Structure 1
Amino acid sequence: MRCPNCQHTSSRVVDSRHTDELSAIRRRRECEECGFRFTTFERMELSPLVVVKKDGNREVFSRDKLMDGLLRACEKRPIPYEALEKTTARIESALRNLNKPEISSNEIGEFVMKELITLDQVAYVRFASVYKEFKDIDQLMDTLKHLAKGRDDDELQ
């Protein structure tokens, strides 16, 4: 493990914890050279999940790409990074629980939309505008009306 500060290859583990929500082991490490502290996560390597893209191409599922998409949708929103990590873990877990070796990018998008609508409505609209490929302002307005109607229904209960 290389220190992100000085690139030295020797560090010691200061603290180690299993995180249920991230399905990982979180380790706090300290570089033996410069004393810099950093966190690493260890995850079990699972069988690859193949994503079938809209154009028919296939690629291996990337947790990092999923997280990047969530980060873009939630940019400049008051959402803690830890909440996005947990959301990413829930989506990946749900995808793997389908027990399918291949999954379409559309299915992944639907899982992301279900998570984002409860996490942050602005992030949901940002993601939906790209995912659903809105052609005009009317499609965007329909989505906004749907969100507002859902909020009105919640307030009546």
Structure 2
Amino acid sequence: MRCPYCGCDDTQVKDSRPTEDNTAIRRRRVCTGCGGRFTTFERVQLRELSVVKRTGRRVPFDRDKLMRSVQVSLRKRPVDIEKVERMVSGIVRQLESTGDAEVQAEHIGTLVMEGLKGLDEIAYIRFASVYKNFREAKDFSDMLNEMSSDQDEDDPGQDED
């Protein structure tokens, strides 16, 4: 593993342990060249996935890009990083288990929206505003009304005494 600080190829693993959800191995490493310490994660990858964009362009699936987009939505929100990691790992497992080598970008967006809705409603709305390309304030209002009606359907007896 190459050191991110000095680029040296000689690093040593000092500690290895599974992540809380057992989907990866966390390794603490130290560079023998500069002494820098860093952490790496090793994950199982069942197959190479390609994402088919709305334009028809195909790009390799990037778990880190998915994680970054989720983290942008969750910025300054009180959500445990382990829950975010489990959500992203769950999405990746769902995508890999379909058996298809190609996945539509819209499908990934839908899975992220479902996951965020359960984690944090503000992050859900933030992600939706980009994913659904909100153009005006009314789009936010419509989304909030939709969420409110979904909650009413989930709890039909909330108005009863």
- TM-score by structure 2 length? 0.82
d(CA) in 2 for partners of 1:39, 1:7: 15
1:27 corresponds in structure 2 to 27
d(CA) in 2 for partners of 1:34, 1:10: 10
Q: Is the 8 A contact 1:24 1:42 kept in 2?
A: yes
- Structure 2: 5+ residue runs without aligned partners? none
d(CA) in 2 for partners of 1:11, 1:108: 36
2:77 corresponds in structure 1 to 77
2:105 corresponds in structure 1 to 105
User: What's the Cα RMSD here?
Assistant: 2.5
Q: Is the 8 A contact 1:22 1:86 kept in 2?
A: no
CA shift, 1:146, in A, is: 2.8
CA shift, 1:22, in A, is: 5.7
Match status 1:42 vs 2:42 = yes
Q: Is the 8 A contact 2:47 2:96 kept in 1?
A: no
Tell me the percent identity: 44
Q: Is the 8 A contact 2:46 2:96 kept in 1?
A: no
Deviates more, 1:37-46 or 1:51-60: 37-46
**Aligned amino acid, residue 156 of structure 1:** Q
How many residues get paired? Answer: 157
Deviates more, 1:123-132 or 1:82-91: 82-91
**Aligned amino acid, residue 90 of structure 2:** R
- TM-score by structure 1 length? 0.84
Deviates more, 1:54-63 or 1:75-84: 75-84
Q: Secondary structure at the match of 2:122?
A: helix
For residues 42-61 of structure 1, the aligned pairs below 5 Å read: 42-61=42-61
Deviates more, 1:120-129 or 1:137-146: 137-146
**Aligned amino acid, residue 158 of structure 2:** L
**Aligned amino acid, residue 132 of structure 1:** K
